[in-house]
A = this chain, B = another copy of it.
Amino acid sequence: MVHIMKRLILASVFTLHVAGAWAQQNDSVQIRKIVNEVLLSGKCYNDLRYLSNEIGGRLSGSDEADRAVLFMYSKMKEYNFDTVWLQPVMVPHWIRGEKEQAYATRGNKRIELNVCALGNSVGTGINGLSAPVIEVKNANELELLGKQGKLKGKIVFFNSPMNVLHIHTGTAYGEAGWQRTKGPAMASRYGAVGALVRSLTLALDEHPHTGATQYNDSFPSIPACAISTIHANELSALLSIASYAETQVYMRTTSRMLPDVQSYNVIGEIRGTEKPKEVIVVGGHLDSWDNGDGAHDDGAGCVQSVEVLRTLKTLGIKPKRTIRCVLFMNEENGLKGALKYAEWAGKSDEKHLVAIESDAGGFTPRGFNTSATGKSFEKIKSWQPLLKPYGIETIKYPGGGADIGPLNKYGTVLIGFVPDSQRYFDYHHTSIDTFDKINRRELELGAACMTSLIWLISEYGL
């Protein structure tokens, strides 16, 4: 009896194994079809060319953001998605104003500084701001100097470089990011009158990197700029010269926040044939900073997300679950689009199964990071061998993305697409985030991997 049981168990294990192998073989054929369609006839590269070169930087509230909404809407219509709509959302409208100016002086020395206003920051006024400058390397030093009254009336110069030893550059960005996001507010608390923040990049060059800063309502909003890494080093060197002369920085910015304006998330979907109420979201953010063309951040993620649905439509694949492309407005300086979509999702009678975001550049694919745990994680991981031929070599916990984050509270599994990270912060939030930095095949392989994973989820659930 025991032997018969064993044999039965063995037989069923064998059957399952063979069935599994057979399913994976079919899946790999389907995935190869998907990849071929994107590499042979993909539209994402040309869509990104238009978004970057013809529209360009598209900060929330700008005319360019409006044009980007209409362009992506028209593309979803052109690609024949089942339903396409605009979801209204009120967004901040910050403007940079005139080209920023800055220089440092000490005794008879003077150096020009490449700076740009941080997003959401107030301007200095048209006459600019002149004040002694003090360098800080970390939050403890800031607190100590602040409590000693040494930041009062000063421009605080945050100069902690990103750590080159992190292999994934995003880790280094995460660690150093407080200087930009919270530094100016932390300095203001102790009476500082301005802030200069070392650009968040591993490159040593002359490009200042913008990005949002968050003021604290309890303290004055002080003018805040990013400074290029080369000029941060020069300023630091100037400060280190033994001399009694005080180092002064002059900076002039005319940035300001205007009243909120109406904008839109751009949404298109293919309705599921078997479980239409189970939704898989794929997206990126449509807004970008104003100083470059937002090619990698996040034009790439937008056109890849559209390519996912276009590819399925073109191949005549009818997904079992609903696949919805959401291009979120205002990730960069407010996240209002993401919050609006999540609010709407919370009220709908749909189940948001999974949300996948591409917002780490259009570089060669390397993996997916996910919030999934337990069996859901194992299921995603079991598909990795199917995606490996196209570059997906790592499926890791944790993971997600800024725009899909707010869906987490509904139990939605979050997945972030992980392209190679080495070049991203060379271009991030600068004037050189332009279309010529995009490699067609890298962008397309990313879109193909995203499409393949989404197709697997739509077939098998999680």
- Known contacts: A364-B364, A393-B394. The answer to whether A164 contacts B420 by CB under 8 A is no
CB distance from A254 to the nearest CB of B (A): 33
Q: Which of B35, B36, B39, B164 contacts A39 (CB 8 A)?
A: B164
B420 touches A165 (CB 8 A): no
CB distance from A30 to the nearest CB of B (A): 15
A364 touches B422 (CB 8 A): yes
Contact residues in B for A364 (Cβ distance below 8 Å): 364, 420, 422
CB distance from A449 to the nearest CB of B (A): 11
Tell whether A442 is near chain B: CB-to-CB under 8 Å.
Answer: yes
Contact residues in B for A164 (Cβ distance below 8 Å): 39-40, 441
Contact residues in B for A390 (Cβ distance below 8 Å): 167
Tell whether A389 is near chain B: CB-to-CB under 8 Å.
Answer: yes
The distance in angstroms between the C-alpha atoms of A423 and B437, with both chains bound, is 11
Contact residues in B for A313 (Cβ distance below 8 Å): none
The distance in angstroms between the C-alpha atoms of A169 and B169, with both chains bound, is 26
Q: Which of A426-462 contact B (CB under 8 A)?
A: 426, 439-442, 445
The distance in angstroms between the C-alpha atoms of A317 and B26, with both chains bound, is 50
Number of interface residues of A (CB under 8 A): 25
B40 touches A165 (CB 8 A): yes
B394 touches A422 (CB 8 A): no
- Known contacts: A40-B165, A165-B40. The answer to whether A422 contacts B393 by CB under 8 A is no
Contact residues in B for A426 (Cβ distance below 8 Å): 439
The distance in angstroms between the C-alpha atoms of A219 and B177, with both chains bound, is 66
1/0 per position for A248-259, CB-CB distance to B under 8 A?
000000000000
The distance in angstroms between the C-alpha atoms of A165 and B439, with both chains bound, is 16
B167 touches A389 (CB 8 A): yes
The distance in angstroms between the C-alpha atoms of A442 and B390, with both chains bound, is 20
The distance in angstroms between the C-alpha atoms of A190 and B270, with both chains bound, is 56
Q: Which of A379-409 contact B (CB under 8 A)?
A: 389-391, 393-394
The distance in angstroms between the C-alpha atoms of A25 and B310, with both chains bound, is 47
The distance in angstroms between the C-alpha atoms of A364 and B203, with both chains bound, is 16
The distance in angstroms between the C-alpha atoms of A256 and B149, with both chains bound, is 75
CB distance from A96 to the nearest CB of B (A): 27
The distance in angstroms between the C-alpha atoms of A420 and B422, with both chains bound, is 12
Q: Which of B167, B440, B445 contacts A203 (CB 8 A)?
A: B440
The distance in angstroms between the C-alpha atoms of A439 and B442, with both chains bound, is 16
Contact residues in B for A165 (Cβ distance below 8 Å): 35-36, 39-40
Contact residues in B for A40 (Cβ distance below 8 Å): 164-165
The distance in angstroms between the C-alpha atoms of A393 and B394, with both chains bound, is 9
Contact residues in B for A36 (Cβ distance below 8 Å): 165
CB distance from A340 to the nearest CB of B (A): 36
Closest B residue to A423 by beta carbon equals B439
Tell whether A230 is near chain B: CB-to-CB under 8 Å.
Answer: no
Contact residues in B for A393 (Cβ distance below 8 Å): 393-394
- Known contacts: A164-B39, A165-B39, A393-B393. The answer to whether A202 contacts B441 by CB under 8 A is yes
Contact residues in B for A39 (Cβ distance below 8 Å): 164-165
What are 27 A-B pairs with beta-carbon distances under 8 A?
Answer: A35-B167, A36-B165, A39-B164, A39-B165, A40-B164, A40-B165, A164-B441, A167-B389, A167-B390, A167-B391, A167-B445, A169-B441, A202-B440, A202-B441, A203-B440, A364-B364, A364-B420, A364-B422, A393-B393, A393-B394, A420-B420, A422-B439, A422-B442, A422-B445, A423-B439, A423-B442, A426-B439
Closest 10 CB pairs between A and B?
A393-B393, A422-B441, A39-B164, A422-B442, A364-B420, A423-B439, A364-B422, A422-B439, A36-B165, A39-B165
A-side residues, CB < 8 A to B, are 35-36, 39-40, 164-165, 167, 169, 202-203, 364, 389-391, 393-394, 420, 422-423, 426, 439-442, 445
* Known interface pairs A167-B390, A422-B442; 18 further A-B residue pairs with C-beta atoms within 8 A, sorted by A's residue number: A35-B165, A35-B167, A36-B165, A39-B165, A40-B164, A164-B441, A167-B391, A167-B445, A169-B441, A202-B440, A202-B441, A203-B440, A364-B422, A393-B393, A393-B394, A422-B445, A423-B442, A426-B439
